[in-house]
Amino acid sequence: MSQHTSGKAALRRELLAARALLSDEDARRAGSVLARHALDLPELTGVGTVAAYVSVGREPGTRALLDALRARGVRVLLPVLLADNDLDWAKYEGAERLVRAARGLLEPAGARQGPEAVLTARTVLLPGLAVDARGMRLGRGGGSYDRVLARLAAAGATPALVVLLYANEVVARVPEEPHDHPVRAVVTPEGVTRFA
């Protein structure tokens, strides 16, 4: 295990332990405030397609944001986890059309559009556990979004990458590996921070 990999694992444990102290109500309230901040982003104004995700557990809630984007007429693509940890995508058609899937995830019940569908997104909202002052994001370690970001880069696609977090998850430094990609902005319940 490399120094970066072990550093990431330690930081993940610390941040997941902090999230475990939150209640479902804490996550829901944070999600409501986070949605208000996110909806003011230029990256989410006047866009045709946004790739997003359904929050689970103690992640900052995304439901209010997903519904608001859909109400604006935005085509919201949500991930569908494949057996190899890659992501397929399907259109968000409302909370009533979400189904339980592997690993406790919620996924859209609609037609799958293929892993390449993310290339149509002008903005990609990323889950994460932390981001640092350089915009380097720490994910959960499964590699699914690493594949998505590599697919975008290989296709020359340059959507705005935005991570949704709690304020305490904006940290001084995230261990970085060669495959990691910086994000353009982080949205927390306290506001928006942009990176150069």
Q: Which of 2-6, 9-13, 146-150 has the lowest mean pLDDT?
A: 2-6
Structure-model confidence comparison of residues 143 and 132, the more confident one: 132
48 has binding-site annotation: no
Q: Is 166 annotated as a binding residue?
A: no
Is residue 136 within 8 Å of residue 176, measured between CB atoms? yes
In the prediction, which pLDDT does 92 show? 98
pLDDT tens readout for residues 30-78: 989 999 999 999 999 999 999 999 998 899 989 999 999 999 999 999 9
Q: How does pLDDT run across 144-166, given as a tens digit for each residue?
A: 999 999 999 999 999 999 999 99
- Has 92 been labeled as part of a binding site? no
DSSP 188: E
User: Does residue 6 carry a pLDDT above 70?
Assistant: no
Which residue in 92, 144, 141 sits closest to 115, CA to CA?
Answer: 144
3-class SS at 25? helix
For 187, list phi and psi in degrees, rounded to 5: -115, 125
Instruction: Say if residue 53 carries a ligand binding annotation.
Output: no
Q: What angle do CA 77, 80, 81 make, to 5 degrees?
A: 145
The reply, when asked if residue 167 is annotated as ligand binding, is: no
The two tokens of residue 145 are: 């979004």
Question: Residue 2: pLDDT above 60?
Answer: no
Query: Known binder of ligand: residue 139?
Result: yes
Determine whether the annotation assigns residue 161 to a binding site: no
Q: Is pLDDT of 7 > 90?
A: no
Q: Any binding-site annotation on 8? A: yes
| Architecture category of domain 3-194 in CATH | 3-Layer(aba) Sandwich (3.40)
Please say if the pLDDT value at position 102 is more than 90. Answer: no
Is 142 annotated as belonging to a binding site? yes
Q: What average pLDDT does the structure give for the chain? A: 93
13 annotated binding-site participant: no
| Beta bridge partners of residue 162, listed in sequence order | 125, 185
